[in-house]
Amino acid sequence: MSSKIGFLFPGQGSQHVGMAKDLVDAYPKAKTMFEHANDILGFDLATFCFEGPEEKIKQTYITQPAIFVHSCIVLDLIKALEIEPEMTAGHSLGEYSALVAAGALEFEAALQLVKIRAQAMQEAGQEMPGTMAAIIGLDAAKVESICNNASESGIVAPANFNADVQVVISGESKAVHKAMELAKSTGAKKVVELVVGGAFHSPLMQSASKKLQEALSNTTFNDAKVPVYQNISAQPETKAEKLRDALDLQLVNPVKWIESVRNMIADGAGRFYEVGPNRVLTGLVRRLDRKMTPTAVGYTADLDKLAQD
């Protein structure tokens, strides 16, 4: 079986103060991409990334463009080393970077969508407040059953199937807190409420989905050059229309990360590169398949090491 290269792109949660500063200091292209980004966004993204403050960089409307731009800069630099993806996937927001990597979206068009998505999600979080929590140590079926029982208190549902015993739930605060109690009493190893600006990947994001729909219909998508494994289905897709439709559905449905990675491996992925800040996905892939040793590439030191290999 051929050993294909898969590129994986992180979503919200991978941001940190100081992100991408070393890339901008080392590569003129990185500086130019931030200048483009600042123009599209209408604020100084670079300063928030490099200097914070942390409360600011945690706000959805800044977090999402920050991770996307960082990932796309690294994508450009890794491709300059003649490492090309043969399949891609991105976790939630990361799907936009995956589409750029696959040639389905241009950087500028994707950033315009990320800007609208991030603002719409932040507004939806204010209009329909909710929260999210990570449940560790219970399988997906147990977590789904817990959400069904807790839904007497309000909307709550699985949002991210990240690893076999790591599921993130999302919904109205009262219902999520009820599900957290049930998870603890059912034997979860760990239950952690997440610091997020809303109930992402749940029906509470319906208003954001409507705003995003309009922007998506006005954006040019190309057929992807390599398959993109979609959050919504975990299946590979290259057709422009299907790729576009999935981005809207993604906001109110769970991220099928476990299946996406397993399907990539089944389809021949032998080497994974996590392209962007931090190493969250590298850890998740290792949990799903101990034989896999993904390479996290997010900083100049990582790129230098790749250039020497």
Residue numbers annotated as active site: 92, 201
β pairing state of 236-237 and 228-229: antiparallel
Q: How far apart are alpha carbons 224 and 115 in whole angstroms? A: 22
Give the 3-state secondary structure of 107-119: HHHHHHHHHHHHH
Enter the DSSP assignment of 59: S
Contacts of 30 (CB under 8 A, 6+ apart): 20, 23, 24, 73, 77
Tokens, residue 61: 């409307």
| SS3 of residue 106 by DSSP | coil
Backbone angles phi, psi at 90, to 5 degrees: -135, 145
Residue 175: count of CB within 10 angstroms of its CB: 24
Q: Which residues of 192-220 are buried (b: 16+ CB within 10 A; e: fewer)?
A: eebebbbbbbbbbbebbbebbbebbeebe
Q: How far apart are alpha carbons 237 and 250 in whole angstroms? A: 14
User: 291, exposed or middle or buried, with CB in 10 Å at 0-12, 13-18, 19+?
Assistant: exposed
Residue 249: count of CB within 10 angstroms of its CB: 13
